[in-house]
Amino acid sequence: MAGGYPIVLNVEGRRVFIAGGGAVAERKAAGLLDAGADVRVAAPSLTPRLLEWAAQGKIRAEEREAVPDDLAGACLVFAATDKPDANRRIAEAAKRLGIPANVADDGEAGDFMTPAVVRRGDLVFAVSASGAGPALSARLARELAERYGPEYGRLTEVLRSVRRAVKAAVADPEERKRLLVAAVTDEAIRQWPGTPPDEAPEKLLERLRTLADRGDS
């Protein structure tokens, strides 16, 4: 699957089905839970963590072979069993239903691949080598995780508030652009994580205009 078209898909509250109950299926489920998906899993045996999530109500899981009927209502399907033939059958069933499928043991056989992901709140880094080198993707993701620490989660929260304040108070498109560019300068990024969560929009705009004026000078 050379290249591909990268997107960030909103799966919050939407059903995603995983065929498989091993370590790969667990990793898929973990990422989907982070994204707020309604995760369904079927496999003859499940990892302890999958069983724990099921007991906690975080996912719905059944200890049996996956069947085509499991795919009903899903927006995505992951074929992640340890049996290539079973994965292929699940992917073919998904294709008949028009549901994009990922095949864990043969990425190019599916409709999409999952990148290595680093999350910092609403900031999401996704790295893919398009199936050519998963180890390279994992290495680059580790480097991103080291470079961009947990403080960037707070940064995205503040930037969301800043953007809302600018859109509500600034009508001129060029001025909006000037302010939003100033919001992500090195100086701004150093300042925002320390911003009180209840800072008034007027105060945010005042600080932002000061940063923008410094950049213009």
**Residue 37 near residue 96 (C-beta atoms within 8 A):** no
Q: Residue 180 and residue 106: Cα distance in Å, rounded? A: 42
Please name the amino acid found at residue 4.
Answer: G
Residue 3: its pLDDT value, please? 66
Give residue 57's region: left, alpha or beta (phi > 0; psi -120 to 50).
left
All structural domains of the chain with their residue ranges: 1-114, 115-147, 151-216
Rounded mean pLDDT, 110-120: 88
Q: Using DSSP bridges, classify how beta strands 15-19 and 38-43 pair: parallel, antiparallel or unpaired.
A: parallel
Instruction: Tell me the residue type at 77.
Output: V
71-110 tens-digit pLDDT: 999 999 999 999 999 999 999 999 999 999 999 887 778 8
Residue 128 burial (CB count, 10 A): 22
Q: What integer pLDDT is reported at residue 217 of this predicted model?
A: 55
Name the superfamily (CATH) of residues 1-114. Answer: NAD(P)-binding Rossmann-like Domain (3.40.50.720)
Q: Are 28 and 78 in contact (CB under 8 A)?
A: yes
Q: What is the pLDDT of residue 1?
A: 55
- CA 145, distance to chain mean position in Å, is 14
Place of tokens 């999409």: 112
